[in-house]
Structure 1
Amino acid sequence: MNEGTLFMSRITKLQQKLSKLYIDAFLVTNQQNIYYLTGFNLLQGDGCLLVTPHHAIMITDDRYQLALEEFDTDEVVGTITRDYYGSLNQICQGLHLEVLGFEKTISYQLYDLLDETMMADLVPFDNVIERMRMIKDSGEVARLQRAADLHSQAYQEILNHIRPEMTEREVAIELDYWMKRHGASAPSFPTIVASGENAAKPHATASNKVITDGDIVTIDFGYYVDGYTADMTRTFAIGSVDPELRDVYQIVNEARQAVIDHIKVGQHGDRLDAYGRQLIEEAGYGDEFNHGMGHGIGLMVHELPASYGPATDNVILKNNEIITVEPGIYIPTLGGVRIEDDILVTHGGPQVLTTADTDLVVVD
């Protein structure tokens, strides 16, 4: 099945949902959702997509006119205008659309504009397209595998080049340069390079702190490759390793593997989390693991399921979802350890997309 056919089938699936949602059409303004449905990269705020039972209409301005003319699809038609939502109202009236669904994540400013402009009744919906995005097709899985492979390669390159007296920011810059030279387009979130005591902060940003002998170093990074992002974390040591951190590393790695071993279609998020969290709690570090076990990835670094942890009994894994597994232990004044892999959920069991070794590496 070619990419154009995949995009067409996504629009068709959305069209088939309209009557069940009791709406005449659905308005899409989220950039990733427009790309997912059409394959057209319309930047956020530069227009919208109107999906009716028989049409998919891209409403944007003349900056995109040539790109739309070159766009290889028979299903999406373009309307060029500088008044996106005035034109949307005219189209809805012309097609006799009386009830218009929209994404409830839009800004209040945009809602106020729609409320003032539209003659159709407006009905908000939550995660209509995001739920479609949860289940990856074969093309998406292939892209995410390529992304994961590139991340694993980048980690090995960093291990080969990192040295004491580099700063965290210098390591992040080296990683960014390598990723972009080898096919990544942009980071999906600010790269975390956290060394020493900074590694005890789960969301520390790369700073001017100098990495020194005896530091534990956590690198958490995600980059877009062919439009999809992987998400990977590894922790390694520089020179000597504190004995407690060496033990903590082993606990975290065992927790990561325990969760992966229990990934299966139909598994509940809270139960999956418990397989890893219980090991950490039994080792006496329950209070030092202060975030969820993982989340979905795809066109964005956080997709549905947005997170799974102790209270997510409503999360039930489905075939061809891709989730992360990222247990961690963070000890103030000493450091922390997190290890993260990307996993494809299948009826045949988990498939680990992240190929980088998880054994503790000590860089001399």
Structure 2
Amino acid sequence: MASRIERLQGRLGKLYLDAFLVTDPTNVYYLTGFHLLAGDGFLLVTADRAIIVSDARYSLALQEFDSDEVVAAVSQDYYDDLNRICQTMKVSVLGYESTISYYLYDVLDEIMQADLVPFTNLIEKMRLVKESTELAKLRQAADLHTAGFNYLLNEIHPGVSEEHLANLLDFWMKEHGATAASFPTIIASGANAAKPHATASKKLIEDGDIVTVDFGYFVAGYTADMTRTVAVGSVDPELRDVYQIVNTARQAVIDQVKVGQRGNRLDAAGRRLIEEAGYGDEFNHGMGHGIGLAVHELPASYGPGTPDVKLHNNEVITVEPGIYIPELGGVRIEDDVVVTHGGPQVLTLAPTELLIVGD
């Protein structure tokens, strides 16, 4: 089986490129397995070579880096050296990631003698379909998220703050194998739960609150992304009904996850139920997105206007319908799902029925 670098090398000729420059650290890691912070160097891939260039801070790490297909060089001026390497290797057309900063483009445009050609999502499209080793790591991450949520259930009660719950969860996740959060944890209670991207605040949990917990952590380099909503004590009857609507919509979408499915049709399976229940205006975001080495991978989002999104075997997506009612609260339930020829495989196995906590 061709390596990731070999797959990229095999495409260069078809793209009319002599080489491709990779500066995004996640893409460098995906292709090589080497951790390089943003701005600390680059990976250059030609038809028959792959070269990592960084500075003296990485000297020891590069010496210890064991690779049969990547060579490393230490530089005091990355992009002057890039130009020299390209001249030596007779690179006349150099592709680069369109996500680079304008400052870096200005540097390259000034220094490089090779023609520069931007590409959007060239490596990200490679990352979309997961290998078996990647799926195993995503399952590991999802299992830890399920365990972390089950731990947090015992800590949610009236009088505790959203921030305190987020801190408890952060400590527990890192103590049990997570390396870092992939986005700021959302703990949103009461009226705050009506804000899809609320941040954990100093608000104290109260009896009768609905509490949304949305979190993602890296495990073995890959992140899960899970949301659950629970009730504290007595719950408003409307929110209880809303919970059932959202949960039914979540399952309806999962039931339609299959190879070849289009994003807009997948979204419609759940959104239609929410609209028929009278809450169409209260569902104000896409149905989900891809995950992997980053919490938002391709597809960046799928919703009503995404007929161009087509699901592939071994792609991993989130399914996260929600209803948000100002001044009252909101409900979101999110699962991570593997697309397979045999049907959907749900990775996040925490309970999805409405749980009452804090008694």
TM-score (normalised: structure 2): 0.99
User: Counterpart of 1:15 in structure 2: which amino acid?
Assistant: Q
Aligned to 1:80: 74
The 5-angstrom pairing of residues 273-312 of structure 1 reads 273-312=267-306
Amino acid of the structure 2 residue aligned with 1:157: Y
Q: Which residue of 1 aligns with 2:148?
A: 154
Structure 2 distance, partners of 1:326, 1:163, is 25
Aligned mate of 1:259, from 232, 253, 257 = 253
Runs of 4+ in 1 over 3 A off after TM superposition: none
1:187 aligns with 2:181: yes
Quote how far apart the aligned CAs of 1:163 are.
1.7
The aligned counterpart of 1:170 is 164
| Distance in 2, Cα, partners of 1:218 & 1:95 | 55
Query: Under a length normalisation based on structure 1, what TM-score does the superposition of the two structures give?
Result: 0.98
Task: Give me the whole-angstrom Cα distance separating, in 2, the residues matched to 1:86 and 1:347.
Answer: 48
Match of residue 214, structure 1, among 208, 212, 216: 208
Alpha-carbon shift at residue 160 of structure 1 (Å): 1.4
Matches for 1:341-356 after TM superposition, within 5 Å: 341-356=335-350
Q: How far apart in 2 are the matches of 1:162 and 1:200?
A: 18
Deviation at 1:157, TM superposition (A): 0.3
Q: Which amino acid aligns with 2:35?
A: N
- 3-state secondary structure, aligned to 2:3: helix
Structure 2 unmatched ranges of 5 or more: none
Task: Answer with 305-314 or 161-170: which moved more.
Answer: 161-170
1:1-364 correspondence to structure 2 within 5 Å:
9-363=3-357, 364=359
**CA deviation map 1:81-103 (0-9, x unaligned):** 11000000000000011000000
* Aligned-partner Cα distance in 2 for 1:17–1:77: 20
Q: 2: distance between equivalents of 1:131 and 1:10?
A: 12
- CA distance in 1 between counterparts of 2:265 and 2:155 reads 40
Deviation string 1:281-309 (CA, Å, 9 cap, x unpaired) is 00000000000000000010000000000
Whole-angstrom distance in 2 between the partners of 1:67 and 1:210: 46
Structure 1 runs not aligned, ≥5 long: 1-5
Pairwise CA distance, 1:40 = 0.3
Q: CA–CA distance in 2 between the matches of 1:93 and 1:196?
A: 62
1:57-101 CA distances to partner (integer Å, 9 max, x unpaired)? 001011111111111111100110110000000000000110000
**CA–CA distance in structure 2, aligned partners of residues 333 and 71 of structure 1:** 54
Aligned-partner Cα distance in 1 for 2:342–2:242:
31
1:66 and 1:76 mapped to 2: Cα distance?
16
Query: In the alignment, residue 321 of structure 1 is paired with which amino acid?
Result: E
1:318 is aligned with what amino acid?
H
Percent pairwise identity: 70
Structure 2 counterpart SS, 1:79: strand
